[in-house]
Amino acid sequence: MIDARLLDAVGALINAHARPGHVPLIGIAGAQGSGKTTLARAAAEGWGAAHLSLDDVYLTKAEREAKGRAVHPLFAVRGPPGTHDLGLLEATVEALRAAGPDSRTALPAFDKLADDRRPEAQWPLFAGRPSAVLVDGWCLGATAQAEADLTAPINALERERDGQEAWRRAVNEALAGPYADLFARFDAVLFLKVPTFTAVLDWRCEQEAGLLGLAPVDLPPERRAELAVFIQAFERITRHMLTGGVRADLTFDLARDRTISPPASGRS
């Protein structure tokens, strides 16, 4: 059940930035399992908005593998800045903003099981002109870190697979460059702030169990261990966002049970 305050907050951001001829672009940020996608979908349905996700504009598997060979092997794994097709996202946003009442706009879609972008013929279509474009993403609004903060590894993934710091520095450069440029184009960003990074693993396991039709306690221990390794690629930026490394117009603090702690705070 989505808290009505969150839906109202998204609606208020849409209304605050709506003007004749302008389709507001609103971001919903939050770590894995925070409920950002569920919120974006519900708000889009309620407000007649189009919904996109950073998860649906990952580079193709072949493109990520090529980047893994050219830059660092970890770029073959989807997730961090540098693994998204920002040009595709921006082109889709512009198509939606230019849409008329009879338009049909294709929205990119990614198949996580196949770890690849779906063929364009399988992309869903948005009918008409949206009231707004809502984009959810785990790193939306994140700021780049200072150079000095990149030196010490924060987990086993960085120690064992990025000993020369090439991957995390390339991710940080992407965040400081094209991602910062993209985030600056948003009219507003709402941030769902998780209580701790340790909650992310529990919530991500709940998601996985749901996809498999299992109760969270029935998720196989080996799958939980795999997910614990997977989220290490997200840890650095997530922790940075939790300590203030995010530009957001509205922040909601989430408790361990995902309820929100009022009042919401303003731009950070």
CA distance 36 to 38: 6
> Strands across the sheet with 188-193, in order?
50-53, 133-137, 25-30, 188-193, 250-254, 260-265
Extract the tokens encoding 90: 């921006």
Strand residue runs (E) in 74-228: 104-106, 110-111, 116-117, 125-127, 133-137, 188-193
Question: What distance in Å separates the CA atoms of residue 250 and residue 189, rounded to the nearest whole number?
Answer: 7
Q: Which residue has the tokens 């063929």?
A: 119
CA neighbor of 89 nearest in space, from 140, 38, 19? 140
Domain ranges within the chain, ordered by starting residue: 4-251
Is 194's pLDDT higher than 90?
A: yes
* C-alpha torsion sign, points 170, 176, 178, 179: positive
CATH architecture of the domain with residue range 4-251:
3-Layer(aba) Sandwich (3.40)
Distance of CA 119 to the CA centre of its chain: 22
Task: Kindly state the helix (H) or strand (E) to which residue 146 belongs, with its residue range.
Answer: none
Q: Is 74 left (phi over 0), alpha (psi -120 to 50) or beta?
A: alpha
pLDDT in tens, 15-68: 999 999 999 999 999 998 899 999 999 999 999 999 999 999 999 999 999 999
70-110 pLDDT per residue, tens: 999 999 999 999 999 999 999 999 999 999 999 999 999 99
- In this structure, the strands spanning 116-117 and 110-111 are antiparallel
- Angle value at C-alpha 182, between 10 and 165, nearest 5 degrees: 115
Q: Are 86 and 182 in contact (CB under 8 A)?
A: yes
pLDDT of residue 215: 87
Q: Where are the beta strands (DSSP E) in 128-249?
A: 133-137, 188-193
- Tens of pLDDT, residue by residue over 129-162, are 999 999 999 999 999 999 999 999 999 999 999 9
